[in-house]
């Protein structure tokens, strides 16, 4: 193992600036690690070795010339100059197809998506695109197009989804951080199941351009990293709107928040998920881990009380928006007959629930924000499990029809998706491990624009819990 492997994002950026490592070496190491682990982890859909190494060489020239450094010696507009990063394959990278987990002849993207443009503007080198399940609709990253992505902590289990490739890449030490997306927990769930920090930002915080209002406002882009500071640094790099974006929240400084004490907070611990019409018993190992985390928060001086958000029947708003979003993506596919039968089933549902029902679901959002947001008249932060179950085994869902897959996902992951309906931010933090050694997580949730508070609280927890010190075992040879 070289010194570059498992180096954090901020630390690697500093080493590049100080000249103790070169971008060429960092990018070459990432590419070698990706290639070596593809047979075991299968985290990446594709890499761009020639282009990435050429960009790394250019970054080395710029680093040697001091490009981006201010006169006071601090680093300026290129905080990620030369750092290798990965993006989920639902985000456009010029010259590569955006397959989003789908088979078929997908044309190359003509230009970078806004988030990738911002990464490049910060100096990052994109080494490749990570795997996703088909159209991001499941909490596992498996499918006929690109196989199964596996969990670095135990390759018999899924890393989660739909940002499972990004999570596996970071947890496995292939890249220091990666971009994912979250439409129903798709950053927070794989972060929980791979022992990472995952930030679901406020809707509009990170542009989804050239798309607009992804999955009817449910989906946002955000970072996965091993530390809060690294996740905050990546969020700052990609945050900001495209001129045509519908949602443009006021800017925040996530990195500053990660260095700031949160103060003494009132924290609501919510065990009960919203109604899903499915049994969703909480795994005892997750209950123990979240209880331990709540006790740690109390030990830091916060007040932690059990409470129950007034979710109501929020699922009646989620279903039309989610399935309509799937239908919109499926309709853009050049050959929809190649899609998974479960995707085609969701597409039919989305068409049936479109129109008046979809408009009604969107119109209910402001009432749901008021009803659920009343919790924050009493509390500052909501703490909840990220999932009800630990990561399932690979292949668990292979033979399930659409309705059984949906029920199984709702049972395993009932906690995350309401915050997508609301459009509000949430942060997954590692909560520990089950007795079988599988990672589990907890989410810190807040109202609109509360990323700084959530990040400050997560950083305070990290100082005491030091979850970044734990690494998965080295993968066995293929």
What would you report as the CA-atom Rg of the chain, rounded to the nearest whole angstrom? Answer: 21
Strand 177-182 versus strand 381-385 pairing type: unpaired
According to DSSP H, which parts of 303-364 are helical? Answer: 315-332, 341-352, 356-363
Number of neighbouring beta carbons within 10 Å of residue 115: 24
Which are the catalytic amino acids?
A: 88, 162, 186
Sheet holding 439-445, edge to edge: 44-47, 125-130, 84-88, 177-182, 220-225, 197-200, 426-433, 439-445, 381-385, 266-269, 303-306
Strand 142-143 versus strand 147-148 pairing type: antiparallel
Q: Are 256 and 424 in contact (CB under 8 A)?
A: no
Burial label, 18 (beta-carbon count in 10 A; 0-12, 13-18, 19+): exposed
According to DSSP H, which parts of 21-178 are helical? Answer: 23-37, 49-64, 114-121, 164-171
Instruction: List Cα–Cα distances, 414 to 69, 291, 354, 386, in angstroms.
Output: 46, 18, 24, 8
Neighbour-count burial for 51-89, b at 16+ CB within 10 Å, e otherwise: bbbebbbbbbebbeeeebbeeeeebeebbbbbbbbbbbb
Specify the residue for token string 């590049």: 16
Burial label, 90 (beta-carbon count in 10 A; 0-12, 13-18, 19+): buried
Cα–Cα distance, 216 to 70 (Å, whole number): 42
């Amino acid at each position: 193992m070289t010194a570059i492997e498992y180096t954090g994002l901020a630390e690697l950026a500093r080493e590049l600036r100080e000249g103790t490592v070169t971008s060429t070496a960092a990018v070459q190491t990432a590419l070698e690690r990706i290639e070596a682990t593809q047979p075991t982890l299968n985290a990446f859909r594709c890499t761009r070795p020639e282009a990435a190494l050429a960009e790394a060489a250019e970054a080395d020239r710029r680093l040697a010339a001091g490009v981006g450094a201010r006169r006071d010696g601090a680093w300026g507009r290129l905080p990620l100059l030369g750092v290798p990063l990965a993006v989920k394959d639902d985000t456009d990278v010029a010259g590569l197809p955006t397959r989003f987990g789908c088979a078929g002849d997908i044309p190359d993207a003509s230009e970078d998506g806004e988030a990738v443009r911002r990464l490049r503007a910060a100096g990052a080198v994109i080494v490749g695109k990570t795997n996703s399940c088909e159209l991001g609709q499941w909490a596992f990253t498996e499918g006929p197009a690109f196989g199964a992505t596996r969990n670095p902590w135990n390759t018999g289990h899924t890393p989660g989804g739909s940002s499972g490739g990004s999570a596996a890449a970071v947890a496995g030490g292939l890249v220091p951080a990666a971009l994912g997306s979250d439409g129903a927990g798709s950053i927070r769930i794989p972060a929980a199941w791979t022992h990472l920090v995952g930030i679901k930002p406020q809707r509009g915080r990170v542009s989804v351009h050239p798309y607009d209002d992804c999955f009817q406002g449910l989906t946002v882009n955000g970072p996965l990293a091993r530390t809060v500071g690294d996740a905050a640094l990546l969020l700052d790099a990609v945050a900001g709107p495209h001129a045509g974006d519908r949602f443009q929240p006021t800017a925040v400084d996530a990195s500053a928040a990660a260095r700031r004490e949160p103060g003494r907070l009132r924290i609501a611990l919510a065990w009960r998920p919203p109604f899903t019409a499915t049994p969703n018993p909480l795994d005892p190992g997750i209950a123990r881990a979240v209880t331990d985390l709540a006790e740690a928060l109390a030990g830091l001086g916060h007040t932690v009380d059990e409470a129950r958000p007034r979710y109501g029947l929020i699922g009646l708003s989620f279903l039309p928006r989610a399935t309509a979003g799937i239908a919109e993506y499926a309709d853009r596919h050049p050959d929809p007959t190649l899609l998974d039968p479960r995707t085609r089933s969701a597409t039919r549902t989305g068409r049936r629930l479109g129109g008046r029902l979809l408009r009604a679901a969107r119109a209910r959002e402001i009432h749901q924000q008021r009803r659920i947001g009343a919790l924050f008249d009493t509390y500052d932060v909501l703490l909840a499990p990220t999932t009800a179950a630990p990561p399932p085994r690979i292949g668990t869902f292979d033979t399930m029809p659409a309705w059984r897959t949906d029920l199984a996902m709702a049972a395993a992951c009932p906690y995350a998706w309401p915050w997508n309906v609301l459009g509000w931010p949430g942060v997954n933090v590692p909560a520990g491990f089950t007795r079988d050694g599988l990672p589990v997580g907890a989410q810190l949730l807040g109202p609109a624009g509360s990323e700084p508070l959530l990040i400050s609280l997560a950083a305070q927890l990290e100082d005491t819990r030091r979850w970044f010190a734990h690494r998965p075992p080295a993968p066995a040879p293929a």
